[in-house]
Amino acid sequence: MLEDVKRYVEAVLDKLSPAKAQAMARAMAGGSRERVNELAKDLMEWSQRNRERLTELVRREVRSQLKALGVASKEELESLKRRVRELEKATGKAPRRASPRAGAGGGTKASG
């Protein structure tokens, strides 16, 4: 019984191959080839849907945690870049290019 539960959980987390689905279906149904094939197909669809749900759940949680930490999203950064370009055009100042070393450890060293 515990092995069956482990297989079902693995079917959610891993991509369920047709061979693995067939084996699970045979173990569950033990009936006709047609019934086993139908059950294997259902298992593969179920596995795919649950993987998609799990992936979306993880994405939402990561997004939520990043927001809680104050990390800007890609869209927010792009919006800020556009706004900076607009302000540079409005003031007539040419954009300054950062040197490759800018921000790469520059600044003061802590004494210690």
| pTM, entire model | 0.52
What is the per-residue pLDDT across 49-70, written as a single tens digit (0 to 9) for each? 888 999 999 999 999 999 999 9
- For residue 111, being part of any structural domain is answered with no
What is the per-residue pLDDT across 11-48, written as a single tens digit (0 to 9) for each? 666 777 778 777 777 777 767 788 888 888 888 888 88
In the predicted model, what is the mean pLDDT of residues 82-95? 88
- For residue 94, being part of any structural domain is answered with no
pLDDT of residue 82 exceeding 90, the answer is yes
pLDDT of residue 108 exceeding 90, the answer is no
* The total number of residues written for the chain in this structure: 112
Question: Rounded to whole angstroms, how far apart are CA atoms 40 and 22?
Answer: 5
What is the per-residue pLDDT across 92-105, written as a single tens digit (0 to 9) for each? 876 666 666 555 55
Question: Distance between the two ends of the chain, CA-based, in angstroms?
Answer: 61
pLDDT of residue 112 exceeding 70, the answer is no
- For residue 97, being part of any structural domain is answered with no
- For residue 56, being part of any structural domain is answered with yes
pLDDT of residue 75 exceeding 50, the answer is yes
For the chain, how many structural domains are there in total?
A: 1
- For residue 102, being part of any structural domain is answered with no
Please give the DSSP secondary-structure letter assigned to residue 104: S
- For residue 103, being part of any structural domain is answered with no
- E strands in 1-112: none
- 12: containing domain: 2-89
**Are 29 and 39 in contact, with CB atoms under 8 Å apart?**
yes
- For residue 37, being part of any structural domain is answered with yes
